[in-house]
Structure 1
């Protein structure tokens, strides 16, 4: 007979509590149990409370406001949480006070050891028929390199996305992508699964983490372990660099998720073209921000894909990386070297702007306008226009429609 230990903590939080400290913990003990289950209850019409977990040996997962509970077992865990032995000692349920009313409400945390619920398997996703890869377009590239098409911002059920890793991979393949960075909020539970899921769908899945705070988000790329979102963002910058990864500030100008943290050193990478800017494609704010960024900026785009109701697929917009192949290491090398470009779409007839050495090459460019960071603009004639560095102007560069709609970006 299995004896279930059930611990209930009824807490009260209001806006004053959030303003005083937005991350709270509920401690509990583990002593030989083989699993744990946590349930979170509160009035979701009036508040948003994020959920996570830490064990004595480190971080075990985060699901933000997307879940009402989780299970951790040695061999399986709720997506977003890391399976493995439950080390004895003091564990902590992590509560992020994201949105609360003025008057306190009850937040109830129930902890059961061992867990009474099972962990359902993740849907594998139906493999898509052979899809022409965007890289088959063969954009002109430096010798030994190929431009691979991808997306540097997407979510699955391992955080607040609604589709499994396999389902997400299938969508990216359907849109012709060569690679997809999976960037879950404050967790790396998906990292060990990416290689097998990618192989099953014939797409490269890049390890990522969206380091998420109440004052801004940053994507950490590379198989570099977990980055602690509770630290000052200056630590994000230094730790990601020390571990060989790339840190990119996400959607730095987007509504309530704009980047507000002061930084001693700016990271090189910036999500210059977030999907929301496609809806305001003549906006000039991104260029104002870029003029204040680093001269060696790595320019990225991201769809921030979460669910089909967006009405678009991963790869909206497309970020291209010039790399030796589409392995994670080669793509990361391309990032470190700053060999990126961004287009609105992966289609072979979409206007594109790429670098080959010092030359700037515009493709499908007839009737487009080339702009630079000094404000110079010129009308391009012909589908393929090659501009040597001395004629191109001061980068980064952008292709626009005659009406000012952004079509493509290049460093």
Structure 2
């Protein structure tokens, strides 16, 4: 085994010079394993960790790990196994938070047959019952256009392949237990989870959508589809072009969330309007104000919701909030096609009895929403036009050019959203 070590002293000046610092190292022919460790004072800085080989991106773990290993057959979650191509590789350091006073950083790379091993995943939970043919996990039959069914899901979730605490199997089991028909696995700046999704999804009878959260200091975006890795180090306009060229979809995530808010000078056709970070904001004024500034003079964005699930310790399971899509079936392709065409609606939770607002043709249909208030945000009324909903299956004519609409409780708690 050979060992290479680099000692660095990094400050704000280094961050200003380059956000992503490459630390090169050599992989000799015949190498069958490599191990990388990163050491620094985590109280003094936030430094993300990733890796590339001479030919391609090999993975990213952000600030969630200080070590990873890669072999031809296996790799630490977040990194891709495969041939250890001889030549010059690089540890990629994301200089997220540094201060004026330099912090000492040590990068150690071990190569050879005795390099550190790859940790295994925890045992997978047993699968639950399968969904009846043509049915949904919630058992709810929401009114839908001919040939379509409303399926419940979550379009933003993380696993151990980035900074989540659950394996793909554990996360999928949790989604199935919540009654979700689909789930997008959107780990940060990696696609190492993509090869595992079809098998895990089949085991738990949940449609798992390949995704990746393109994560930078100036904002995050979810790229949906089996489209290959999106280079987060390039300007955001390149993400839009790359995703579109490969047939994928790109959404702006949590545009107003603290230091994760959206600052890139581009807009996309999809917007994560309802995110767990403002789930408890009774009036949710910020997201609505942002929506009015998006795409002025262009088509309104498709509205999405996401739990941004990372760990059960959050207290919010997958599907909080829930994104509904009117799709031909539950396959990933059909779900993404529904999103592409704007057939979405949002609710707090997926289960029976939870108020839902869906569009069917030129009508809005409010389910299990008796006594709630329907708000038309784009009506020429301060705060939006407000109408009381009567009955648990209320059909409300809605001009096709208007929207979004939302359902509120009497205390203005946000219950559901529809375009």
Partner of 2:128: 129
Residue 402 in structure 1 maps to residue 377 in structure 2: no
SS in 2 for 1:9: strand
Candidates 181, 194, 205, aligned match of 1:202: 205
1:53-73 CA distance string (max 9 Å, x none): 011111000000000111111
- Partner residue, 1:68: 66
* Residues 96-105 or 175-184, more deviating: 96-105
Residues in 1 aligned to 2:401 and 2:53: alpha-carbon distance in whole angstroms:
54
Question: Residues of 1 paired with 2:232 and 2:208: CA distance?
Answer: 23
- Alignment map for 1:131-280 (pairs within 5 Å): 133-263=136-266, 266-280=267-281
In the alignment, is residue 381 of structure 1 matched against residue 403 of structure 2?
no
Residues 1:312 and 2:316 are matched in the alignment: yes
Is 2:26 the counterpart of 1:29? yes
Matched, 1:111 2:109: yes
Q: Deviations over 1:92-112 (max 9, x none)?
A: 100011112321111000001
Match of 2:344 in 1: 340
* Residue of structure 1 in register with 2:49 after alignment: 51
Equivalent of residue 19 in structure 1, options 11, 16, 21: 16
Shift of 1:20: 2.7
Inter-partner Cα distance in structure 2 for 1:267 and 1:237: 7
Secondary structure of the corresponding residue to residue 170 of structure 2 = helix
What is residue 3 of structure 2 aligned with on the other side?
6
**Residues of 2 paired with 1:323 and 1:96: CA distance?**
39
Counterpart-to-counterpart distance in 1, 2:318 and 2:174: 7
Report the 3-state secondary structure (helix = DSSP H, G, I; strand = E; otherwise coil) of the residue aligned with 1:85: coil
Alpha carbons of structure 1 residues 165 and 128: separation in structure 2 relative to 1, 3 Å: same
- Following TM superposition, the consecutive aligned residue runs of length 4 or more in structure 1 with deviations greater than 6 angstroms are none
For residue 37 of structure 2, give the secondary structure of its aligned residue in structure 1: strand
The answer to whether 1:290 aligns with 2:299 is no
SS at match of 2:80: coil
What SS does the aligned partner of 1:349 have?
coil
Residue-by-residue CA offset, 1:300-334 (whole Å, 9 max, x unaligned): 10001111110111110000111111111111111
* TM-score computed with the length of structure 2 as normaliser: 0.94
Question: Secondary structure of 1:341's partner?
Answer: strand
1:86 paired residue among 69, 84, 87: 84
Post-superposition offset of 1:135? 4.0
Secondary structure of 2:139's aligned partner: helix
Q: Distance in 2 between matches of 1:282 and 1:388?
A: 24
Question: RMSD across aligned C-alpha pairs, in angstroms?
Answer: 1.5
Does the CA contact (< 8 Å) of 2:50 and 2:59 recur in 1?
A: yes
Q: How many pairs were matched up? A: 405
Unaligned runs of 5+ residues in structure 1 are none
The one-character-per-residue Cα deviations of 1:221-243 (angstroms, maximum 9, x if unpaired) are 00110000011001111111111
Q: CA deviation at 1:281?
A: 2.6
**Whole-Å separation in 2 of the counterparts to 1:206 and 1:121:** 23
1:9-42, CA deviations, whole angstroms, 9 ceiling, x for partnerless residues?
0101122222332210110112211221101011
Q: SS in structure 2 opposite 1:273?
A: strand
C-alpha separation in 2, matches of 1:118 and 1:17: 32
Does structure 1 retain, via aligned residues, the 8 Å contact 2:252–2:271?
A: yes
